[in-house]
Amino acid sequence: MANNTANGQTKFWLQVFSNSKVNGALYLGDHLPSYGWAWPTETYLQRRLRLLRASADEASSADRASLDEISCATEQLQLERSEMFH
C-alpha cells in the first residue's frame, strides 16, 4: 500500500513538473485577473496584541513613575545627609 501511495505521489509531481511553464507548458497565470485583497483587521489576535501592548505601556509608565519617586527620595536623603554633616 505504501508503494501505491508513493507511486501516486510521484506521478502527481511528474505531472506538475511536466505541466510547468519552465518545461514549455501553457501558462496563463500572468493573464489571470487580479483581485484587490487586504489583510483582515480587528481579529482576535490583533485585539489581544493591542491589549497586551497597552498594558505593557501602562506597566512601564508605572515603573518609570516609581523609579522617579525612588530617585527623588534618594536625592532628598542624600541632601539631608549632606546637611547633617555640614
- The predicted-structure confidence for 4-19, as pLDDT tens digits, reads as follows 556 667 888 888 888 8
Q: What is the pLDDT of residues 40-80, one digit of tens each?
A: 999 999 999 999 999 888 877 777 777 677 777 777 777 77
Domain boundaries, the chain: 60-86
Report the alpha-carbon distance of residue 45 to residue 30 in Å, rounded: 34
Report the alpha-carbon distance of residue 7 to residue 78 in Å, rounded: 82
Q: Which residue has the higher pLDDT, 52 or 25?
A: 52
Backbone angles phi, psi at 28, to 5 degrees: -110, 10
